Amino acid sequence: MVAFETLYRIYHPRLARFLMRIASRQHIIEDVINETMMVVWQKADAFNGQSKLSTWIFAIAYRTAMKSLRRNGEPMEDKEANERASEDASPEDEVAREHRRALLTSAMKALSADHRTVIELTYFHEMGYREISEIMDCPVDTVKTRMFHARRHLRRCLPGSAPDWL
């Protein structure tokens, strides 16, 4: 039990960070974390070491989150956020980094949960595309395509040119 608590506490912040990008409701996030870790506890012996432990746990979390989103009727895509981002994307905002982050947050919310997942796993959790394809249980090309479209969407929502980000 001590070992499991250790594992739980190692993964709690990582899963929370990941799930907060996919789902917005706090109680869903907490529920998905514990549902995920319950699966880890109950099926620990099924982990065969063929993939990294983090890949296995994130894959469980991703599947659990998708099921939960469907069950709870949480929007997978926030169309209003998309509109907000587009309306705000005026040249006057180019110098305000904080405002840019707000725009980016808003633009992220407009993406589908699948697109947000790829962005989050790549940019924040710094995973490779193969690992992401294992977590999402989809072909590598699908990961690349999702990322391609997600980036195109974000670029459309954000004003200014690339160097402004630096």
Radius of gyration for the alpha carbons in the chain, expressed in angstroms and rounded: 17
Indicate whether 138 belongs to the interface with other proteins (CB under 8 A): no
Neighbours of 41 (CB within 10 A): 13
Q: Scan residues 25-64 and list those touching other proteins (CB under 8 A).
A: 26, 29-30, 33-34, 37-38, 40-47, 49-54
Under a CB-based contact definition with an 8 Å cutoff, are residues 115 and 154 in contact?
A: no
Indicate whether 109 belongs to the interface with other proteins (CB under 8 A): no
Indicate whether 76 belongs to the interface with other proteins (CB under 8 A): no
Measured distance CA(114)–CA(147) in Å, rounded: 9
Q: Of the candidates 66, 99, 117, 163, which one interacts with other proteins according to CB under 8 A?
A: 163
Q: How far apart, in Å, are the Cα atoms of 87 and each of 11, 27, 81, 92?
A: 38, 31, 10, 12
Q: Of the candidates 71, 85, 108, 135, which one interacts with other proteins according to CB under 8 A?
A: 108
Indicate whether 164 belongs to the interface with other proteins (CB under 8 A): yes
Which x/- pattern over 139-158 shows residues binding other proteins (rule: CB under 8 A)? -----xx-xx--x--xx---
Per-position DSSP letters for 23-56, written without gaps between them: ---HHHHHHHHHHHHHHHHHTGGG--SSS-HHHH
Indicate whether 14 belongs to the interface with other proteins (CB under 8 A): yes
Closest separation in Å from C-beta 89 to other proteins: 15
Indicate whether 128 belongs to the interface with other proteins (CB under 8 A): yes
Indicate whether 96 belongs to the interface with other proteins (CB under 8 A): no
